[in-house]
């Protein structure tokens, strides 16, 4: 995007989306939203589940989503589209940094 638009929204779809799942919205995130992201050309989606403490990695292949990986707990992973760096999955959870639960 060469410059920020003057509108309150972007007309260009992002390459990557990260959804934080909650019990009340997980079905919506996994169904309707994934369909919309695919239709709009999003190439990568991460689904972070703080209850299960997992990160599910999806990539769009044609008109469908393919699960590339699922990481959790204390795993260290290289996850597309940011696979140039290692991500410590455990750092996604509050208590991993010593915060009270």
Please report the DSSP string for 8-54 in residue order: SS-SSPPSEEEEE--TTTHHHIIIIIHHHHHHHT--EEEEEETTTTE
DSSP 29: I
pLDDT digits (tens, 9 = 90+) for 63-96: 899 999 999 988 999 999 999 999 999 998 877 5
Residue 87 in contact with residue 76, Cβ under 8 Å? yes
User: How confident is the model at residue 98, as a pLDDT?
Assistant: 46
| CB neighbourhood size of 99 (10 A) | 8
pLDDT digits (tens, 9 = 90+) for 49-72: 999 999 999 999 998 999 999 999
Structural domains in the chain? Answer: 16-97 (3.90.1570.10)
């Amino acid at each position: 995007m060469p410059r920020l638009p003057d509108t309150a929204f972007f007309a260009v779809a992002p390459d990557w989306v990260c959804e934080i799942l909650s019990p009340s919205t997980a079905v919506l995130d996994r169904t309707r939203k994934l369909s919309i992201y695919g239709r709009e050309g999003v190439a990568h989606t991460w689904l972070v589940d703080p209850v299960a403490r997992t990160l599910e990695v999806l990539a769009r292949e044609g008109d469908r989503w393919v699960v590339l990986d699922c990481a959790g707990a204390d795993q260290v992973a290289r996850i597309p589209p940011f696979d140039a760096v290692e991500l410590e999955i455990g750092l996604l959870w509050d208590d991993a940094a010593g915060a009270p639960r």
